[in-house]
Amino acid sequence: MDTRTSPCRARITQLREVLAKEAVDALLVPSSDPHLSEYLPGRWQGREWLSGFTGSAGTLVVARHKAALFADSRYWQQAEAELQGSGIELVRIASAAAPAHIDWMIENVPRGGTVAADGQVLGLATAQQLQARLTAAGIALATDRDLLDAIWPARPALPVQPVYAHVAPHAPHSRADKLAHVRTAMAALGATHHFVSTVDDIAWLLNLRGSDVEYNPVFMAHLLVQADAAQGRPGARLFTGAGKVDATLAATLAADGIELRPYEEAAAALAALGERDTLLIDPKRVTFGFRQRVGAACKVVEAINPSTLAKSRKTDAEAAHVREAMIEDGAAMCEFYAWMEEALAPSRPNGVVTELTIDEKLSAARARRAGFVGLSFSTIAGFNANGAMPHYRATPSSHAVIEGDGLLLIDSGGQYLGGTTDITRVWQVGTASAAMKRDFTLVLKGTMALSRTRFPRGTLSPMVDAIARAPLWAEGLDFGHGTGHGVGYFLNVHEGPQSISRTIPDANMALEPGMITSIEPGVYRPGQWGVRIENLVLNVPVQTSEGSTFGEFLEFETLTLCPIDTRCIDKSLMRLDEVAWLNAYHATVRARLAPRVAGAALAWLQARTQPI
Ligand code: ZN
Ligand code: ZN
């Protein structure tokens, strides 16, 4: 790219003029919005607009004479390509949570200088940490302004998509019950009010859904819940955009004591809290900007949102719907893979197949299934070297044709009224080499090892991360992303509080019955191929022969139903018990999916679930 014409270079030059005028030495631009969401509405994609980096995670810092983007290993190749000509340096960090950008600012901003960051999009816990580090280095933090507004004339407005109700049978628990649960938790903490900004918490709590961002069925809103809903006054105020909730739904909400208020009024409602009030907020799930608006006399208690814990523990009724969604999703897989293998036959009966064709056909197969609402994230279909980039996305201008020999990695998922899916499979195209098969088998051993683990209830999720890595570590291999993430119920494909990763654990990451988590170890060989095998699992109680002497134990029920390509397995690396697990898994997949597919899809299912 011609560095003189990169639009990002011009934007950064303009931003530097604003920095000079405001006497600011550096601007911190996180990937964040007022709800601390992972997927951001266009209005809050300032990091992408300024840098050209389109990855879903990454932090930008623009100083007077230097600029840097901080991204973890998932994005290194992509960031390097997208930052070309922008004048922004890529800083490779170990994990998305690494504070390398703070070190960088301390190094590049003079003592007595000022760093600006929009407090409206800065998490409270993050801001507190940032402020402590900068203060220690003699640097001021200004959070009271949004410097992007001045230089971003075509900045998108807030999304206006409608809000709709998630209803029975797929929403088996009423919003009244859920609000009552939250109020019980508030009472235990002595809170008179509870402010919720995270959009998945609000959607879950109120049995509402929307489509304000891609892939996550959420809508932009804040919620202020009061402890006492009695005496005819509303027990909760939902702050959301005008016209998003129609009159019928508004009446239903009113009957449950929920009053609609304009989106912009949320901060004023917090400012109105006084000395008789105690506000519960979650420092990881509310912004610094909102915390600063809370009335000075109001007491504040900090704890995890009660809804975050509650929604992570799917009930039996919800788990039953998820199993059903998995059957629909698996059936879609069979139809798609039957088509794909046919299309990749040497004669290429359907012409050229590319990574984009894969995405199109797979999405179409899902769209035909009962209860399907949309994709849960953008499909990753990466052939050979592209499969080595864990967050690769094929585009019309850059994608591979599936031809010759190698491995095709497909990571995809759907949103169904009764659950959210996320699955990765790797398929042989032509012939897989012995080295590819070795990687595939070692990754599969990692997936199986963790899938079969039993553990005491309450074990902190990061503690089981090493179990999936052990078969890889034994051979000197590893992967740069987490092993697994929590998954929502017709909600975000990434949800907390649990995370199977190298994150430093906190008490809220305890594994509890009903949690749904992914298990997705991988091996990536840059420029060659990538392997990842991902299933979703449900925490279920297990009876041990020791009874309850050693406490309550849990195990994982594998929810995902789709064959694993046994042609890629090097059986000499598998133990007998691993072979038995895989054969039993395939028997389950066949039994559950066979009644939902026919013709070529059924034949494919039968062929790909044969025991090894
Ligand atoms: Zn996935
Ligand atoms: Zn996943």
Cα 151 to ligand 2 centroid, rounded to whole Å: 36
| Cβ burial 374-392 (10 Å sphere, 16+ → b, else e) | ebbbbbbbbbbbbbbbbbb
Q: What is the pLDDT of residue 385?
A: 94
8 A C-beta contact, residue 412 and residue 375 = yes
Q: How far apart are CA 393 and CA 74, in angstroms?
A: 12
pLDDT of residue 487: 98
Q: Which residue has the higher pLDDT, 348 or 432?
A: 432
pLDDT given for residue 397 in this prediction: 85
Backbone angles phi and psi of 590, in degrees to 5: -65, -45
pLDDT digits 0-9 by tens, 553-568: 999 999 999 999 999 9
Distance 308 CA to ligand 2 centre (A): 19
Closest ligand (CA of 537): 2
- Cα–Cα dist 602/608, whole Å: 10
For the cut 50, the answer to whether the pLDDT of residue 546 exceeds it is: yes
**In angstroms, what is the span from residue 483 Cα to ligand 2's centroid?**
9
- pLDDT tens for 327-341 read 999 999 999 999 999
Q: What is d(CA 55, CA 73) in angstroms, rounded to the nearest whole number? A: 11
| CA 214 – ligand 1 centroid, Å | 16
Domains of the chain are 7-150 (3.40.350.10), 164-310 (3.40.350.10), 313-608 (3.90.230.10)
- CA 294 to ligand 2 center in whole angstroms: 36
Neighbours of 344 (CB within 10 A): 18
- Cα of 534 vs centre of ligand 2, distance in Å, is 7
Query: In the chain, what are the helix, strand and coil shares in percent, each to the nearest 5?
Result: 40, 20, 40
Neighbours of 105 (CB within 10 A): 25
Residue linked to tokens 């010759």: 404
445 CA distance to ligand 1 middle (Å) = 18
Question: Could you read off the pLDDT of 291-315 as tens digits, one per residue?
Answer: 999 999 999 999 999 999 999 999 9
Determine the residue type at 190.
G
Nearest to 29 by CA among 143, 112, 173: 143
Q: Do 254 and 275 form a contact (C-beta atoms < 8 A)?
A: no
Residues 6+ apart with CB under 8 A from 298: 273, 274, 275, 277, 278, 279
pTM of the model: 0.94
Smallest CA-to-CA distance from 35 within 225, 202, 270 is with: 202
Measured in Å, residue 202 CA sits from the centre of ligand 2 at 23
Q: What is the pLDDT of residue 169?
A: 97
Give 519 Cα–ligand 2 centroid separation in angstroms.
Answer: 7
Distance 164 CA to ligand 2 centre (A): 26
Which of the two residues, 238 and 543, has the higher pLDDT score?
Answer: 238
Distance CA 539, CA 532 (A): 22
Question: Which amino acid does the sequence have at 187?
Answer: A
Q: Are 465 and 483 in contact (CB under 8 A)?
A: yes
Confidence of residue 1 (pLDDT cuts 50, 70, 90): very low
Q: What is the 514 CA–ligand 2 centroid distance (Å)? A: 18
Q: Name the closest ligand to CA 378.
A: 1
Q: Which residues surround ligand 2, an ion (CB under 5 A)?
A: 422, 518
Closest CA to 250 of 161, 182, 164: 164
Tokens of 333: 């897989």
From its phi and psi, is residue 567 left (phi > 0), alpha (psi between -120 and 50) or beta? alpha
From ligand 2's centre to the CA of 263, what distance in Å?
32
Query: Please, which pLDDT band fits residue 2 given cuts at 50, 70 and 90?
Result: very low
The predicted structure's pLDDT at residue 232: 55
Answer yes or no: are the C-beta atoms of 192 and 226 closer than 8 Å: yes
- Percent of all residues in the chain with a pLDDT value above 90, rounded to a whole number: 88
**In this structure, which ligand is nearest to the CA of 380?**
1
The encoded tokens of residue 354 equal 């590319």
Distances (CA, A) of 233 to 227, 230, 259, 272, 405: 12, 6, 9, 17, 67
Could you tell me the distance, in angstroms and rounded to a whole number, from the CA of residue 500 to the centre of ligand 1? 14
Ligand 2 center to 17 CA (angstroms): 41
- Ligand 2 centroid – CA 237 distance (Å): 34
Whether residue 205 contacts residue 178, with contact meaning beta carbons closer than 8 Å, is answered with: yes
- In the structure, ligand 1 is a single-atom ion and the residues with CB under 5 Å from it are 411, 422, 424, 534
